[in-house]
Structure 1
Amino acid sequence: MRRQNQHYFILLLIIFFLSGCTSVQYYSQSIQGQFEVLKKRQDINDILDDPNVSSSLRDKLNTVLQLRQFSTEQLGLPKNNSYLSYADLERDYVIWNIFANEEFSLEPLSWCYLIIGCLSYRGYFSQSEAEKNATHLKQQGYDIYLGGVAAYSTLGWFDDPVLNTMLRWSENYLATVMFHELAHQQLYIKNDTEFNESYADAVAHIGVTRWLRQKHDKGLLDEYNQSQIHEKIFVALVMRYKSILNKLYHSSEDKKTKRSRKKNLFQKMQTEYFEMTKSWGENPYKKWFSSDINNAKLASVVTYRKHVPAFLEIYEKLNKNLAQFYSFSKSLSSCNPMKRKEILKTRKIEFEC
């Protein structure tokens, strides 16, 4: 482990265990999980020097280095040692996130931590621990959604390695994840998960589009553009039903009626999705819709996608100038959360907090 990271690790131990905002047990698993990631890191260049490395891994790690260089030179993302090392965790996901909502609410439950503030989800390095805590919340009456995560950002506290969990899918996916997580290192506002995730998603979209255009890879670019069309349709459907459900939850209907209508709306949403995507061929959201939908599942989408259209429209208004876009986004950090939402809703590029 690098000396710098040793110092950070000791500091985190002190801060986390002095915290009273959540259990020592939770922080313990977080620290152990982070330590496992750091312990398994290997410099990518050292791996590439090994003649026994598979051609598949070699190709992917070379792509990682190219993406990393592009991220700093062309996207202006942080230049540090993140994604210059690799860790094989020997599992499909690095973290499992829990989203929890009350039965008649679309506002996700928040968990608060020192340093990073409050988040609209809770992550576990252990799948069994995540499942146990999800079951506990479900028994308390919450709608629960538990999903595996391929990557996360330590916000610059550590030199984040690229993980085997990030290499399981396409180059487009890898680029999206890397640019998203690096965007968190560049800008992160405490206690505003929707802003942070939407901003990072917008940066990732801009970055992947630029990456594919400079590669002159029409096949990958067409594939990415098609995936974005599908995503817009998916998100629009989620947002539309979120609005319908929100009206229901704030209505004067009794709980029994709300419960019945809620169930019917989610079933209608599933039916509508499968009907409208019959011609898609590959269906990226089939798994999401094939299992039960609830408030928490909707929240997992809203949290990451709510403000993405606003950020992308603002980027266009700024003539696709990334430096100005970053400056604009950073200036929003001085506004209170309500003002930030108002600015993003109106897409104004000139404002006062």
Structure 2
Amino acid sequence: MALTHRTSRRLALFLAALAALGVLGGCTPVAYYAQSVQGHIALMTAARPIDDWLADPATPADLKPRLELARRIRAFAVSDLALPDNASYHRYSDLKRRAAVWNVAAAPPDSLTLRRWCFPVVGCVGYRGYYDEADAKALAAQLEKDEGLEVRVYGVPAYSTLGWLNWAGGDPLLSTFIRYPEGELARMVFHELAHQVVYVRDDTMFNESYATAVERLGVRHWLATQASEQARRDYAAFDGRRRAFRQLSRDTRDELNRVYAQKTALAHDPQALPALKSEAMAHFRQRYAALKAEWAAAGTPFDGFDPWVAQANNAFFGIQAAYDELVPGFEALFAQVGGDWPRFHAAVRDLARQPKAERQAQLRTLADTATARDDAVAPRPAG
């Protein structure tokens, strides 16, 4: 059911208040706040309960089983992953576009540290979102021209309002991801719900890495207990390629960070740092070409990462770091609490109360300890 006029007006006033506090926004211009409010109201107004879509004869035949699957995934998130049982993801919205929002990320030519936009309520984040792709590209061009930053504009299939709008119907399922393969659909729902469990001001890496860990661990459990063998095979094939690409990205980030660490030492030679950076980027593309060759040789050719590689720059690697840098630590924490989901979420809340540097250091220590333990018990070749 569409929002009533009264509810829509209440929502508009509430979103306007959030925007004024910086919850939804980028910087101070009223125009940016206006597009934030209007864009989210349009998304919410288009949402209808899943039952309405299922009962409507005009609903596309291929959409109905996807909505039924999403409803099962949503129930599983509550029963098996201890994720919030609230209004979110019980409605569906057809956005009639390929992304929910378009984010802009930016970084200096000699650093992977993202430019941040700061707001009074949610704190600072390493991206700025727009409901219109053209607006996102305009900001990216401005940052590139005026500040000399390397920029990245990328479509986002979903975002979280952190549970603040559950009174108005919550975050809906969206046409931008509803037709994802089963494992990917579950991954998306689990990730976005995780943001409603823990969100920390001024720490994008902590927030996104936690949600990424929840999605990975949750999908593993879903596939093992709920999915068909075909769904497990399909997910394993795609996720294997994704993990290989993320590992390549991590390796390249490490290489670039080593280059940028020499900035002061190489200040006497303006060409030295760009040359080393160019070499690292060339190495990245060579290794990616080798990965593609491996996939093709295995009979599973895949070029889905080509656009990312073609546009790879410091902003790209900075965003990648936000989503996976601390994931091994969260996975180690999950193992430490015996795979108990309520205890895991509680432990993450405890971490969130600590200073940023301390919680990130603890997660890295957890990851290093787990890796050392795994290495210690790994079988040794006979000799």
In the superposition, the TM-score normalised over structure 2's length comes to: 0.86
What is the aligned partner in structure 2 of residue 258 from structure 1?
Answer: 273
Instruction: Give yes or no for the alignment of 1:144 onto 2:163.
Output: no
> Aligned letter for 1:209?
R
Aligned residue runs from structure 1 range 251-330, under 5 A: 251=262, 252-253=265-266, 254-280=269-295, 281-283=300-302, 285-330=304-349
Q: Give the aligned residue type for 2:238.
A: S
Question: Which residue in 1 is equivalent to 2:371?
Answer: none
Instruction: Describe the SS at the equivalent of 2:81.
Output: coil
The AA in structure 1 aligned to 2:347 is F
AA aligned to 1:283 is: F
After superposition, residues 312-351 of structure 1 pair within 5 angstroms as: 312-347=331-366
The letter for the 1-side match of 2:213 is A
Are the counterparts in 1 of residues 47 and 172 from structure 2 also a CA contact under 8 Å? yes
Q: Letter of the 2:138 partner, please give it.
A: K
Q: 2:18, 2:346 → 1: CA distance?
A: 31
Query: Counterpart amino acid of 2:320?
Result: V
Cα drift, residue 60 of structure 1: 0.6
Contact 1:5-1:157 at 8 Å conserved across structures:
no
Distance 2:15 2:339 in 1: 38
Matched ranges for 1:1-16 at <5 A? 1=3, 7=10, 9-16=12-19
Counterpart of 1:85 (choices 87, 91, 102) is: 91
SS in 2 for 1:55: coil
Counterpart residue type for residue 250 of structure 1: A
Uncovered stretches (5+) of structure 2, i.e. residues with no partner: 368-383
Question: Is there any run of 5+ residues in structure 1 with no aligned partner, and where?
Answer: 349-353
Instruction: After TM superposition, give the deviation of residue 160 of structure 1 in Å.
Output: 0.7
Q: Distance in 2 between matches of 1:304 and 1:198?
A: 5
Are the counterparts in 1 of residues 334 and 344 from structure 2 also a CA contact under 8 Å? Answer: yes
User: Helix, strand or coil: the match of 2:86?
Assistant: coil
Retained in 1: the 8 A contact 2:19–2:36?
no
What is the alpha-carbon root mean square deviation over aligned residues?
A: 2.1
Is 139-148 or 275-284 further displaced after alignment? 275-284
Q: Distance in 2 between matches of 1:9 and 1:203?
A: 32
User: How far does the alpha carbon of each residue in 1:205-236 deviate from its partner, in whole angstroms, 9 at most, with x for none?
Assistant: 11111111222522212332333332332222
Structure-2 separation of matches of 1:166 and 1:202: 19
Secondary structure of the corresponding residue to residue 202 of structure 2: coil
Indicate conservation of the 8 Å contact 1:43/1:86, yes or no.
yes
**What does residue range 43-58 of structure 1 map to in structure 2 within 5 Å?**
43-58=49-64
CA contact (8 A) 1:16 1:114 kept: no
3-state SS, counterpart of residue 293 of structure 2? coil
Shift in CA distance, 46/289, structure 1 to aligned 2, threshold 3 Å: closer
Aligned 1:159-238 pairs, distance under 5 A: 159-238=170-249
Q: Give the counterpart letter for 2:15 in structure 1.
A: L
Distance 1:284 1:183, change over 3 A: farther
| Alpha carbons 2:292, 2:301 under 8 Å: kept | no
Cα gap change, 1:127 to 1:289, in 2 (>3 Å): closer
Deviation at 1:21, TM superposition (A): 5.1
| Structure 1 Cα separation of the partners of residues 7 and 80 of structure 2 | 27
Q: Does the 8 A contact of 1:98 with 1:145 survive in 2?
A: yes
Residues 22 and 113 in structure 1, CA contact (< 8 A), matched pair in contact too: no
Instruction: Give the stretch that moved more between structures: 255-264 or 9-18.
Output: 9-18
Residue 247 in structure 1 maps to residue 258 in structure 2: yes
Amino acid at match of 2:332: E
Q: Is the 8 A contact 1:270 1:289 kept in 2?
A: no
Pair 239,153 (structure 1): closer, same or farther in 2 beyond 3 Å? same
Q: How many residues align?
A: 350
User: Is it true that 1:17 corresponds to 2:17 in the alignment?
Assistant: no
Q: Which has the larger radius of gyration?
A: 2
CA distance in 2: counterparts of 1:218 and 1:14, whole angstroms: 48
Q: 1:33 aligns with which of 39, 46, 50?
A: 39
Aligned to 1:351: none
Report how far residue 81 of structure 1 moved: 1.1
